[in-house]
Amino acid sequence: MTWEILFAIALLIFTLTSFVLEKVSSDVTAIIALSIVLLASGLFPGANLPRFDDLAQVFSNPAPLTIASMFIISSALNKCGTIDQISNFLTRFKNLGYVWVIIILVFTVGFASAFINNTPVVVMLLPVMLSLAKSMKITASKLLIPLSYASIFGGTCTLLGTSTNILASGMIQKQGFQPLGMFEITSVGVPLLLCGTIYLAVFGKKLLPHRETLTSILSDQERKEFITEVFVKEGSKIIGQTVNNSEWYRKHGFRVMEIIRNGVELGDLAKNTPLKQGDRLVLSARPSSFAKANGLAALQLEDESDTGFSTISAHQGSIVEAVLAPNSSIIGKTINQINFRQRYRMVVLAIHRRGRNVRDRVNSLKLELGDTLLLMGSEEAIEHLHEGDDLILLDRPPVPGNAMRRKAPIVLSILGGIILASSMNWMPIFAATIIGVALIFITGCLQPKEGYASIEWSLLALIYGMLALGMTLQVTGASEWIVGSLTTVIEWAVAEPMQPIVALIAIYICTSIFTEILSNNATVVIMIPLAISLAQTIGADSIPVDPRPFIIAVCIASSASFSTPIGYQTNTYVYSVGGYRFSDFFKVGIPLNILYLVASSFLVPRIWPFYP
């Protein structure tokens, strides 16, 4: 073993550890890994490491460009109301009973996810699922995990179904293999979808937990309060007291949501900061509490026309839930940094993240993908929020305008053209998607600014960084060393005729474990080269095994993330919204992972034989 191999394996371990610990985002980890390789190549020009010219070739891979184009096309479909039509279709079946609703849900969402990016499909349907659950008199937790799983099922059915398939196709093409066909993976994806549907329909209601969302535990009356601002009068007895040490607000049924001093919100320090004359307090309470307020010597209800400061309108307010939209501009920022109350005229009461409600230091917490916010504001502010693109209200799905609805046939025709051109081999998939994006911009289905904003640039950074890591593993010989070690174990433990199927199962299990704790795109970049190398070293009488079944197994396993809420983006969204616990995904997902493993191990070698 050379020091270059040790370097590559150490870099791989560092990257995987960073992904798991999540001290920095996965895209930053990938960029750091790329930077380390670049630095090592510069410091040791004669070493067996990728050269600068080699690393530059990473950016010539067409897969990230195809993925970026599909983000834009999916955004156009969403903007034109295509997903809204899916919502209308699903609500027709609410009276058929749970089993039939699950079957229709999986097939409908699965079909859409086979051609549209999974995340917007799931996020746009979240309010529909909450409404559907309410009308069926069941908790939303009985429908949200099936919603996420359905999008995963559909993603394994076509080349466009998920970014991992596109990435895998681009990678194998760079290594001289035939790229994946548009519907090549369908022959195994559809049977797996049927298996998953039967599993959810038969066992879903029993295995899925009974979990309440943040607002579902509140009655309609409890969700309605009045909001206003008050200021501390001259000579008030509460001057010098902190909110935590004062009993007046608890005594009269008030909730102090914000304290503003000289136009600046005090944030997390508010309740422990001594009050001063002129401090403005944002209060919420029942109407009866405000009836007593004018009799308090300490406080005086404010006349809104009295000052030029921003205030929350003294009208009836509501408590609502909202989830951060994909590519929201406020992801990675704190409530204070975005001046949330001034920007949206609403107050954040709590944040639900990864199975727990965060109520302390809410204002200084950086918002993350999948966060669900418990908000309070006036109906006017809620409607304004509903019209924006940063947050999606969970009690009302976004509705596109009629002008955009009329462009839906254009976008669908463009998508159909991309599918036809790619499946008939008229042009490569990356060329077809770029032409599709140009047509979408020309026809006004989406403005260029909106299209570029819809791209998950962090995902592209992750892919490029991981491609550089994969190249490092290959150039240094680390991939060969890992595969050689695994081959030695398989040849020692398994009879020669069984070695290919055992190797396939081993690759599937490794990929499945990685994708549950890492990004699925990072997993496919690591595992595709290993799968190809393993196939080329396993065989009877020097007859090489076809790498195709191993490639397909990696594509399936890297998408089939069912057992954790962090392995797949759609799982992360429903995890927060549905009020799930981490263990809920174990309970429902592990049997489904096993089912996918068994079915894939049976189907893949029969559709793509080891020895063609």
- Domain annotation covers residue 188: no
- Domain annotation covers residue 204: no
**One domain, residues 278 and 354:** no
- Domain annotation covers residue 10: yes
Q: Which amino acid is at 213?
A: T
Q: Which of 485, 450, 468 is nearest to 329 (CA)?
A: 450
pTM, to two decimals: 0.81
**One domain, residues 561 and 595:** yes
Instruction: Provide the 3-class DSSP secondary structure of residue 328.
Output: coil
In the structure, what pLDDT confidence band is assigned to residue 216 with cuts at 50, 70 and 90? low
**One domain, residues 591 and 470:** yes
Q: What pLDDT is recorded for position 219?
A: 47
- Domain annotation covers residue 548: yes
The CATH number assigned to the domain holding 286 equals: 3.30.70.1450
**One domain, residues 473 and 346:** no
Last residue of a domain, one of 360, 393, 426: 393
Domain that holds residue 334: 318-393
Which has more pLDDT, 292 or 471? 471
Residue with tokens 């579902």: 216
Contact assessment for residue 544 and residue 536, using Cβ atoms and an 8 Å cutoff: yes
Which has more pLDDT, 106 or 248? 106
Contact assessment for residue 313 and residue 225, using Cβ atoms and an 8 Å cutoff: no
Phi first, then psi, for residue 432 (nearest 5°) are: -65, -40
In the structure, what pLDDT confidence band is assigned to residue 221 with cuts at 50, 70 and 90? very low
Give the chain's domain count. 3
- Domain annotation covers residue 237: yes
**One domain, residues 487 and 596:** yes
**One domain, residues 602 and 466:** yes
Q: What does the alpha-carbon distance between residue 162 and residue 40 come to, in Å, rounded to a whole number?
A: 33
- Domain annotation covers residue 151: no
Does the pLDDT value for residue 369 go beyond 70?
yes
Q: What does the alpha-carbon distance between residue 29 and residue 519 come to, in Å, rounded to a whole number?
A: 12
Which has more pLDDT, 374 or 168? 168
Distances (CA, A) of 301 to 87, 282, 297, 320, 376: 44, 11, 11, 25, 19
How large is the average pLDDT for residues 1-18? 89
DSSP β-bridge partners for residue 300: 231
Range 59-97 burial, b when 16+ CB lie within 10 A, else e: eebbbbbbbbbbbbbbbbbbbbbbbbebbeebeeeeeee
How large is the average pLDDT for residues 235-247? 72
**One domain, residues 345 and 484:** no
Contact assessment for residue 231 and residue 281, using Cβ atoms and an 8 Å cutoff: yes
**One domain, residues 324 and 264:** no
Q: What does the alpha-carbon distance between residue 122 and residue 83 come to, in Å, rounded to a whole number?
A: 9
DSSP per-residue letters across 371-417 = -EEEEEEEHHHHHHHHHSSSEEETTS-----HHHHTTHHHHHHHHHH
**One domain, residues 230 and 296:** yes
pLDDT, tens digit, for every residue of 51-66?
888 888 888 888 889 9
95-109, 380-394, 509-523: least confidently modelled range: 380-394
How large is the average pLDDT for residues 91-119? 88
pLDDT > 90: what percent of the chain? 29
**H helix or E strand, kind and range, residue 165:** helix 163-174
Range 372-407 burial, b when 16+ CB lie within 10 A, else e: bbbbbbbeebbeebbebebbbbbbebbebeeebbeb
**One domain, residues 543 and 569:** yes
How far is residue 554 CA from its own chain's centroid?
A: 21
- Domain annotation covers residue 269: yes
Last residue of a domain, one of 306, 330, 363: 306
Q: What pLDDT is recorded for position 267?
A: 65
HSE, side-chain direction, 13 A CA sphere, residue 610 = 22
Last residue of a domain, one of 341, 358, 393: 393
In the structure, what pLDDT confidence band is assigned to residue 352 with cuts at 50, 70 and 90? confident
Kindly state the tokens that stand for 310. 């921003």
- Domain annotation covers residue 136: no
Q: What does the alpha-carbon distance between residue 47 and residue 42 come to, in Å, rounded to a whole number?
A: 10
pLDDT, tens digit, for every residue of 533-586?
888 888 655 677 899 999 999 999 999 989 988 778 888 888 878 878 888 899
Q: What does the alpha-carbon distance between residue 189 and residue 186 come to, in Å, rounded to a whole number?
A: 5
**One domain, residues 263 and 293:** yes
Q: What does the alpha-carbon distance between residue 546 and residue 555 come to, in Å, rounded to a whole number?
A: 16
**One domain, residues 336 and 270:** no
C-alpha Rg value of the chain to the nearest Å: 27
DSSP β-bridge partners for residue 255: 284
